[in-house]
Amino acid sequence: MRIGRIIFGILGAIGAGAILGVLFAPDKGSVTRAKLTRKTNEFGEDLNAKFTDVVETVNKKMEVLKEEANKMAVELKKKAENARFENTEKARMN
């Protein structure tokens, strides 16, 4: 919930800054709109790149966790088989 508030605050500040920038812009409206469009596109591309990096990092970590879980499963299976074998041997001895 805290991250959502932070992101909402950042986006709100960006919006307020954009509105104030347009209101107090020294350039003509068409020039200001072109600049605003360019900056918005740059921001979107940067945000997309950062999001892609985060997704790739999470995917890599998930792969590592998956590999570790598979290793643990194999190890537990071996231990269970050894325990079953030992119990069978003990039962035969009695």
94 residues of the chain, pLDDT tens digit each: 577 788 888 888 988 888 887 777 777 878 878 888 898 899 889 989 999 999 999 999 999 999 999 999 999 998 888 877 676 766 666 6
Burial 31-56 (b: 16+ CB within 10 A, else e): eeeeeeeeeeeeeeeeeeeeeeeeee
Let me know: does 22 contact 36? Beta carbons within 8 Å.
Answer: yes
This prediction's pTM? 0.49
Cα–Cα distance for residue pair 6/85, rounded to 1 Å: 57
- Give residue 90's pLDDT: 65
Cα–Cα distance for residue pair 37/45, rounded to 1 Å: 12
